[in-house]
Structure 1
Amino acid sequence: MVRSRAGHVWRQSMRWAAVAALGLSAALVNAGPASAAEADITGGTLTWGFKQSFRNYVSGGNGNPPIAASNGATINADGTFAFPSTGGTHDAATGATSAEYGGTVVFSYPSHLFTITLANPTVVVSGGTASLKADVDLVTSMTEPVSVRQATVATLAVGDGNPGGGAGTVTGINLAATLTETGASAFNGFYAAGDALDPVSFTFTTGDSGPARPAVAVTPAGGLDPSGATITVEGSGFDPAANGAAGIYVSFGPKVDEHWTNAGVLQVTKWVSAGNEPTESRDKLNADGTFRTTLPVSAVYTDSTGKQVDCTAVQCYVITFAARGSADRSQDTFTPVTFTGAGSGAGDAEQRITATVTGGPLTLGVAGSAVALPAVANGQVASGALHDATVADLRGTNAGWSLVGQVSDFSSSTGGVIAANNLGWAPSAVAVDDPLAGNPGTVVPGAVAAPGAGLGEARALCTSAAGASGGTFTCGAQLNLGVPASAAPGSYTATLTLTLS
């Protein structure tokens, strides 16, 4: 007999996109022999969030802690991670780069049966293309463990002067990262090659002489809510000692003539200096010329002269410049920021449409409650089809789910026993077409379990990753019971329990 259960046995939903979020890959780019133009990398930082939906999922788990950084890596205020430079080389003439960063981030979710370790990312640039390498370890009872060292884990979009810099400092700002075939395969195919990951920003310095050039990265730099948003501003290449260590102003607003003396047109300004401690109006400029701060911005505001500024009608920027009215223009940068929408034209009319979506349940249904396997002799395998299980995720959260099966030992009325692990299966899974699904979810069948190493322990029948779990799905399997030579003749029964979480 094969039974299923759901409802009161559900645990918090298991979102296996966590595994895929680190499944990033691209073709390996091997650094060639050092050339005369190559310089050693002496410092810098790489910032990456892997995938925000993955971080949100893991942070709600039962790891202790769910997300931990060590060996020099740190967790930023927005949940992304900073990895310090550990060396590498850069050829200023060709752009060829192998920038190495250190540190370890561990994602732990014991109740969902996995631990993922990501360490030592490396940015490789060669021939106009770029990629990200890393060490990745996956430990889980649901699939075979994975351990790779400096595998290429993502392609990075480069071009139009990004990354750029000079005089010994190079900065890459919000480079789009994309999952590739190698990464998708290495992490069990939970996400497909070509899926977008969080953008990558990095900076590094070499032993080249000369002052670094200021560079700024803004996150997010586009698609902001016109009614208000908080942006993160990261800078590098600034001179903490310039102008008597007065520091810089980090502001938001349109470009105007002599902006350093006309700050009244700007919406918000923070003073960033080496001597500052962080407050709402000031932040610290680090000794290496880097800083990280936030600015609250909105599309429309009234400046100090009483004039209304509309940043959907005029281009606005994050602007940096030397503090205290200095004439030093070497600290000036202008990074464009855009909002959703635009100013309405004459004769426009708008109506705001609202709707409320309450969300639905996560449910499990099974087409039958008993499976009769054919009679076979000792030493043979009895095979049959598991009744299809239907999973409907109507929560609207795309939080992910997992359907797991485990069987009891088989026993006969005469006292015979066949161990639970003698029952194996070969799962299958498909998504059911839904014309109202919008972005239809995806489902992945569990790994094949052979008789002898089968369902005596919990194994996945099918899973749907966080970010793509909404919809209706059908999961099935071919059951294969290996009958040992020592089994006494008789009619055997066991209970297979399916648990949706």
Structure 2
Amino acid sequence: MTSSRASALGRRSATWAAAAVLGAVTALVGVSPAVAAPAGITEGSLNWGFKASFRNYVLSGDGNPPIAASDGAAINAGGTFTFPSTGGSYDAETGETNATYGGTIVFSYPAHFFTITLANPTVTVTGGTAVLKADVELESTAFPPVDVTQATVADLTTTGTNPVAGVDGITGTDLAATLTAEGAAAFAGFYAAGETLDPVTFTAATSGGGEPGGPSVTVTPSTGVDPDGATITVDGADFDPEANDAAGIYVSFGPLVDNYWTNASVLQVTKWVSSTNEPTDSRDTMNPDGSFSTTLPISARYTDRNGNAVDCTVTQCYVITFAARGSADRSQDTFTAVTFATPAGGGSASQEIAATVLAGGPLTLSMAGSSVTLPPVGNGAVTSGALNAATVADLRGTNAGWSLVGQVGDFAAAGGAVIAADNLGWVPTASVVDDPLVGAAGTVTPGTVAEPGAGLGSAHALCTSDAGASAGTFTCGAQLNLGVPASATPGDYTATLTLTLS
């Protein structure tokens, strides 16, 4: 039995393109009666998807899995994430909030050389502004690593009515989020500061400083529920039977998604509970004191009204209460997690597996970016930077060998100034991408160093793989070194470096 307090709460010749990442959040307060001091937050949740386009990009990749949730975080049916409250503080008099949430989300895209971990988000509200913080870790063979604790990753847009603050908690709903400069740096500059992120919804509730508590729900049973189907009992207390013209509440079961109060098509079952209802299969009665008791027939797996399969053993599902008839009032919202038993089983079976390996797979090239900006430099000096990593995948099955060759044109500036192409040199690097499949590993060799002044005005090998050991996936990179002649005219110069795989 569990009780939940309300929420106040990737050919032969190729050019390339690269990876990307992130976004932000903002919104605020209208405060209810004061309490003497900040109170500890005891309950709540944070719902955020980071950035939908980034989730879709990662889901198209080769991660196993591409996106994973752990440590209490859950992936919702719509792809966003729910993080449970771990505490913090809330001052009902000033609206100042430091709400902490737990859980870890991992974005993995090995073919594009990164794993990003986002964990332990925090919402801070102070002085009419709000921000979202989080622990961020980037592991990559193509970018410098990042490991920051509680980076301010997003500004949240607040209004006079959002978040809503009360005596015993605060709720922010669909707060617009914008990536901060600190967030952009934490995510290795994949996105620029100011990028729009997914909106943020959060709740944080306290004990209320001795004031009456908000609505609460007890679900029996809430754990070990039969995944094939069971009837659970939902008991509610301290709801407001007169709120929203006595329209009552909906008591539902399903995953927590964005705008859940108007997105009922994803829910498995819903009952309408109000003071004017007589009990039926789809309705129940709320008592004058705001209490009720009703039942919901649920199962772990179902198909929602959009035709999508929902599996509550994979996605965390909840008993959710919210104001009826699409009301914007969030004071009647509660979320009580329900978990299902792992089916018992045993026995063994065998099958013969046959497969055909087709001839003539691809030889492909992809890049982790399309531009490089070198640091400013004076005449007679050298400026250096990293070439965007190139990935070569040889899936032909012939082990015929390959080479990746680069050549650059002259650097040109406005007004006709030129720096000769040979002034760009490089120091190549190359490595084999780990392959979890059993087989003979290929080898790759970095090209020779090209010095500024005798550089890439002519073709030079970035990396090669000899016949007999060229199958697999490989990463090739280089340190770029541009020597600026003493006679160079000041200005902004650009050139095109072309990599050719054959």
Q: Structure 2 length as normaliser, TM-score?
A: 0.47
The TM-score normalised by the length of structure 1 is: 0.47
